[in-house]
Structure formats: structure tokens, C-alpha cells
Amino acid sequence: MKQLGFGLMRLPTIERDDKKMIDMDLFKKMVDLFMESGFTHFDTAYGYHGERSEGAFREAVVNRYDRDRFTVTDKMPMWHVERKEDLDRIFTEQLERCGVDYFDFYWLHALNERSYRKCKEVDAFGFLERKKQEGFIRKTGFSFHDSAEVLNTILTEQPEVDYVQLQINYLDWEDEDIQSRLCYEMAVKHGKRLMIMEPVKGGTLASLPPEVSALFKAYAPDVSDASWAIRYAASLDAVDYVLSGMSNVEQLLDNILTMRVLKPLSDDERDVIAQVIDALSECRAIACTGCGYCLEDCPMRIAIPDYFKAYNNFVMFGEPERWSSFSTFRRLGEKGGKADDCIACGACEGSCPQLLPIIEHLQSVAQLIRDETDDE
């Protein structure tokens, strides 16, 4: 049975003293519904909900259910690790926050090429193995955000890990940056079992543009957009767990209905998803193909295709994609030129095979960033 995992990074919240706090009463109700439906796995991390997720898990699950009735994943925040001693300190703190004596699954959190170098410097993988031998961890692994090539390096050098947690959904499956398919195939090549994160892409695939959602409704009128996305991830052979960050009872019940009696996607359903992917592509505000020719002569080193991709996601999906898009904008601005650094030299437009008005589009991106920043 494929397991639905309750991701504890988008829990229901309430306003209290001008702050968003976790709605513990509603969260407990959702936990009870989740458990009553036969699902038992929870996924938390050190930094989720402003470092309140682990404590909420303790209150809603650990304090109310016997330890043998649930499993939990927690993760080492490598961005907080400066030296080897930090690993033990943070791990001990997480055990206390969660109120458990051991973790069923424990990952190194959000590895990429850069953070993997730090892992090697502090022997983080050796730390996982020691904790496993001491009985504090049942299964080891890492969550991952980088290329299949980097994943191959990690799994070649660290063959002892049990699991890999990957971002997989139908929109990212062939994405050249996220490389969901390539990473999935690489993990399978190394014989690893998988947990899937972001199957609904942070809620994006649960709130499709109406004209795109209509393609799903024409085939299955009573099936939610989110259900299609969950089934897509769960239909992969090497997947044991599909994690979903559920914020309300409606989302929870929809996911339970999808996963309790899982039906792998048929060929006809895969064709419908292919149509949805094509339709989403046509909804883009900027018809950039990501070829990268515009980058060759840009004197300001602006990552133009990446800015356009994040802008398109925001325009198509709105609020569900806000965090991801603006995280991308910040990252790009730190690595190279910002969108509003454009000096309108025109070198990019002379190189664009699509003849896009790149300067005008960059102004739109820069204005969006300014407008949204001013509202914060």
C-alpha cells in the first residue's frame, strides 16, 4: 500500500496577536481523521512554521497516540550546521521537540551541490550511520534539490542511505532545472526507495487556471485537480510515500479518498495530463522557451530565462506559487544581475530566436517584484 504522508509545513493557522499561529484544535481534528483512515506517517522539519512544527507534532500526535501507531520523518537543517558538534546538539533538540526517543526516518535536509560539500566537511552521513547504530534512527536518507548529476555523486559516495526524498509532480517531471524524471531514474538506478514531496507543487496544481482545469473535468467531473497530481506521483513504482502539506479538512479528505484505494494512472489519463501540461505552457505570460541565447551577451549577467519562468509561474498560479517565485527572484538576484539591473542595451533581443521584447518583459518582472515587496 502506497502511504500518504502528512507534511507538517502548511498546517492550518489562525491570527493571534498579529501573528499566524498553528490552529492546534483543527490540526488535532485532522490528525484524528488521518489516523482513523489508516494512514500513520508524518513529516516535519526543524524550521517548518517558524520552528513550531515539531512541537505541534508532539502535542497533536505523540501526546495522544501510542508510539507504535505512527511513524515520523525529521530532518537535519544543514544551513544551521557550522561544525560537527552542531549535529548532535540539533538532533538532541529535535528529539526533545518531537517528544520521541527515536526517528523512524531521518534526513539531511534539502541537499544540493553546495550543502553536500558541507555534509562531507562535518561527516554528516557518518553521523546518520552512528545514530542508526545507536537506535535513534531507523532509516536514513536526504531530501534533494539539484541535478541528477549531483544526485549520482551523492549516491555513489554514500551508498548506505535507505531513502531519497525528491520533488516530483507532472509539471516538474521534464523540467530542465528541477529534473524530476532524471533524478527519479537516478535514484532507481542506485536501488533507493523514494518519498515524494511537492506532488501538488505547493498547492499550485490544486488551483489550475479554469480553462486548464476544464480538461480534467471533461474526463472525470468529480475528481479534484489535486487528486490527479497525487496519483501521478503515487503511480511511480519506486515510491513508498507521497507527502502532502494539508492545510484544511477538505484537502485532507480529498487526499485520503485518492490514496486509500489508489488507482494507478491509465494510458488515457496520462494523455489528459499531457494535454494539461501543454495548456499550462500556452498560459504563459512570456513565451520564453528557455534556450538561453539571450544570456551570451548580457553585460549585467541577468538570468533572463529563469526570471521569466518564475514570473510565468506566478502569473499562472498566483498566491500558491508566490513563495516559490519570489524565492527564485531572490536567489537569482544574489547570483547575478537583478531584473531591474537591465540597461536596455538590446543585446538579448538581437539573440532571441522567438523575437521576444525581452527588455519590456524584464520591466514587467521588475515591477512585479517591486509591487509585491512594497506590500510586505
Q: What does 233-297 look like in DSSP terms, one character per residue?
A: HHTSTTEEEEEEE--SHHHHHHHHHHHHT--PPPHHHHHHHHHHHHHHHHT-SS------GGGTT
Do both 123 and 67 map to the same domain? yes
- Name which of 340, 338, 336, 360 is nearest 348 in CA terms: 360
The Cα 70–Cα 80 span in angstroms is 28
The amino acid present at 197, given as its one-letter code, is M
> Model pTM?
0.83
Pairing of strands 19-22, 13-16: antiparallel
Task: Kindly state whether residue 282 falls inside one of the protein's structural domains.
Answer: no
Same domain? 329 vs 247: no
Give me the residues paired with residue 165 across strands. Answer: 143, 195
Domain end, chosen from 245, 274, 303, is at: 274
Residue 169 contacts residue 229 (beta carbons within 8 Å)? yes
* Same structural domain, 165 and 228: yes
Structural domains in the chain (count): 2
Residue 279 lies in a domain: no
Same domain, 205 and 319: no
Which pLDDT belongs to residue 376?
A: 53
Assess if residue 127 is contained within a domain.
yes
Q: Clarify whether residues 206 and 315 are in a common domain.
A: no
Residue-level pLDDT at 39: 97
The enclosing domain of 12 has a CATH number of 3.20.20.100
Residue 328 belongs to some domain of the structure? yes
Indicate whether 266 and 298 sit together in one domain: no
CA atoms lying within 13 Å on the CB side of residue 180: 18
Residues 145/111, Cβ–Cβ less than 8 Å: yes
How many Cα neighbours within 13 Å face the side chain of 110? 10
Per DSSP bridges, beta strands 239-245 and 3-7 are parallel
Residue 196 shares a structural domain with residue 242 = yes
- Nearest 10 degrees: CA dihedral of 113, 118, 120, 125? -90
Contact 307, 329 (CB under 8 A): yes
Same domain for 193 and 260? yes
Residue 308 domain-assigned (yes or no): yes
* Residue 208, helix vs strand vs coil: coil
The answer to whether residues 155 and 17 belong to one domain is: yes
Q: Answer whether residue 145 is part of any domain.
A: yes
Gyration radius from the chain CA atoms = 21
Read off the C-alpha cell for 69.
501507531
Residues 96 and 227 in one domain: yes
Which of 274, 303, 320 is the C-terminal boundary of a domain?
A: 274
The H-or-E segment that residue 127 falls in is helix 124-133
> Nearest Cα to 187, choosing from 164, 156, 162?
164
Give the residue numbers spanning the domain of 183: 3-274
DSSP result, 8-77: TTS--EEEETTEEEE-HHHHHHHHHHHHHTT--EEE--TTHHHHTHHHHHIIIIITTS-GGG-EEEEEE-
208 domain-assigned: yes
Show which of 215, 240, 274 is a domain's final residue: 274
Tell me if residue 206 falls in helix, strand or coil.
helix
Whether residue 283 is contained in a domain is answered as no
User: 118 and 251, same structural domain?
Assistant: yes
Same domain, 164 and 61: yes
Q: What is the pLDDT of residue 327?
A: 86
Q: Which residue has the cell 521534464?
A: 174
Could you list the pLDDT tens digit for every one of the 376 residues in the chain? 789 999 999 999 998 876 789 999 999 999 999 999 999 999 999 999 989 999 999 999 999 999 999 999 999 999 999 999 999 999 999 999 999 999 999 999 999 998 999 999 999 999 999 999 999 999 999 999 899 999 999 999 999 999 999 999 999 999 887 899 999 999 999 999 999 999 998 788 988 888 999 999 999 999 999 999 999 999 999 999 999 999 999 999 999 999 999 999 999 999 999 999 999 888 878 878 788 889 988 999 999 999 998 998 888 887 777 878 888 899 899 889 999 999 999 999 988 878 889 999 999 999 999 988 766 5
